[in-house]
Structure 1
């Protein structure tokens, strides 16, 4: 019997669904820690912020990465991704003046199969903020 390999579009759809699922898992785990959601999948200034959450006077901009193993997910945030992420954060802060005076942080949540999500507060620096 011949095995049919998934085409490019099928792989992209599967990755998209996996990403959505990981974001919901990450959001749920953050809410259990007392964070309140402000935004999800914010696309702005050529970049995307997976989650924007708030806890007290801190707003965390969260990058969610899902891989088979959490350790693989940690390696997925490269310099180019950090630059696009930082550009989106700066644009978001500029458009949301109500948050002036708050603390801003770039967090990451790493999701692995059958593992509890790992939340890393202040995972990287927001460039230019």
Structure 2
């Protein structure tokens, strides 16, 4: 199952709801989930992080003990980002590929280096 589909289902969203929330064409989202089209890795990772933040879900959780929990980020192929240095390097690399082009009424519009544009609704944390 695709990571996008897995996280979308975890957030209890339909494809249509997810597509509308992030201003992604429904057919594009469907193609991503079925594997007919594959967006760049940084788009997938950004989308997954946005879904997790907006809908209060955990992307991946590894339990070390009953009381001690460790949360981790992973690359799209499932390889974990284990150190702060790796996370920093990834964040630096991704930031160069993504540009904020507009902020309007709590909606941020981003453009990727490949020309793909998407919107993220910014929600304040409680």
After TM superposition, the score normalised by the length of structure 2 is 0.26
Higher RCO structure (Cα 8 Å, ≥6 apart):
1
Q: Which has the larger Rg?
A: 1
Greater fraction of residues in strand: 1
